[in-house]
Amino acid sequence: MAKKKDTLIEEAEKIKADLDELKKKTAKKEAKPAKKTAKKEAKPAKKTAKKEAKPAKKVEEKPVKVKKLTKKELEEAKREAEKTLEEELEEQLSDEEIENFQIEKVDMERLTNKVCDILAEKESDGMFQGELWKKLKLTNQVGSRLALKLERMGTITREKLLENNRWTYKLILKKTPISTQSIEGAPCLVCPVEQKCSLEGEISPTNCQFIEDWVIAELKKPVKAK
Return the exposure string of 23-53: e unless at least 16 CB atoms fall within 10 Å of the residue's CB, then b: eeeeeeeeeeeeeeeeeeeeeeeeeeeeeee
Question: Is 158 strand, coil or helix?
Answer: strand
187 within 8 A of 210, measured Cβ to Cβ:
yes
Q: What is the pLDDT of residue 202?
A: 85
- What gap in Å lies between CA 18 and CA 12, rounded to an integer? 10
CATH hierarchy code of domain 76-173: 1.10.10
pLDDT digits (tens, 9 = 90+) for 166-184: 889 999 998 765 556 667 7
Task: Choose among 201, 197, 200: nearest CA to 211.
Answer: 197
CA 177 vs. chain centroid, Å, equals 37
104-129: per-residue pLDDT in tens?
999 999 999 999 999 998 888 899 99
Q: Is the pTM of this model over 0.75?
A: no
Burial class (CB in 10 A: 0-12, 13-18, 19+), 168: buried
The domains of the chain are located at 76-173, 182-220
